[in-house]
Amino acid sequence: MARVVVNVALKPEILDPQGRAVQGAFGRLGLTGVTDVRQGKQFVLTVDGEVTPAKLEEIKHIAETLLSNPVIEDFTVEVQA
């Protein structure tokens, strides 16, 4: 059993209204010094057996076509032992 974590976030140049709303809440709750908040999402995939390079490629493909919108989002894929 291995775990593959896919992190998806809006590209840095894209406006993140949710992140901005969270940042606004920080100020109201008294947390100062936070200059920017970017919100993303994380997918944790539990994989049967070993994560072979072929399997990893498949996951990357899925990350690009299903889990993220490559027009406005970036993603990273990370294998956890």
Partner 1 sequence: MSVDNVASAKANSDVEQPFAALGLKLDEYERIKEILGRRPTSSELAMYSVMWSEHCSYKSSKVHLRQFGDKVPANDSMLVGIGENAGVVDIGDGWAVTFKVESHNHPSYVEPYQGAATGIGGIVRDIISMGARPVAVMDPLRFGAPEHPDTRRVVNGIVAGIGGYGNCLGLPNIGGEIVFDPSYQGNPLVNALCVGTMKHEDIHLAKASGVGNSVILYGARTGGDGIGGVSVLASETFDADGPAKRPSVQVGDPFMEKLLIECTLEVLHAGLVEGIQDLGGAGISCATSELASNGEGGMHVWLDRVLLRDSTLSPEEILMSESQERMCAVVEPSKVDAFLDVCKKWDIEAVVIGEVNASGRLTVDWHGEQIVDVPPRSVAHDGPVYERPYARPDWMDARQADAPTAERLARPNSAEAVRETLLRMVAAPNLAAKTWVTSQYDRYVRGNTVLAQPEDSGMIRVDEVTGRGIAVSTDCNARFAALDPYRGAQLAFAESYRNVATTGARPLAVTNCLNFGSPEDPSVMWQFEQAVTGLADACLDMGTPVTGGNVSFYNQTGDVAIHPTPVIGVLGVIDDVNKRTGMEWKTAGESIFVLGVTRDELAGSEWAHEIHGHLGGMPPVLDLAVEKNLAEVLLEASKTDLITAAHDVADGGLAQAFVEMAIRADRGATINLPEDQDSFVFLWSESASRAVVVAPHHHDQALVALCSRYGIAVTHVGSVDDTTELHFRGVYGGEVSATIDELRAASEAVLPKLFG
Interface residues toward partner 1, by CB under 8 A: 10-17, 20-21, 69, 71-72
Residue 32 vs 46, nearer CB to partner 1: 32
Q: What is the nearest approach in angstroms of partner 1 to the Cβ of residue 35?
A: 10
Q: What is the nearest approach in angstroms of partner 1 to the Cβ of residue 56?
A: 25
**Strand runs labelled E in 1-81:** 2-10, 40-47, 73-80
Residue 54 vs 71, nearer CB to partner 1: 71
Q: Which residues pair with 78 in a beta bridge?
A: 5
**Strand runs labelled E in 14-72:** 40-47
Counting DSSP H helices and E strands in the chain, the numbers are: 2, 3
Q: What is the nearest approach in angstroms of partner 1 to the Cβ of residue 74?
A: 11
Residue 14 vs 44, nearer CB to partner 1: 14
DSSP β-ladder status, 40-47 and 2-10 = antiparallel
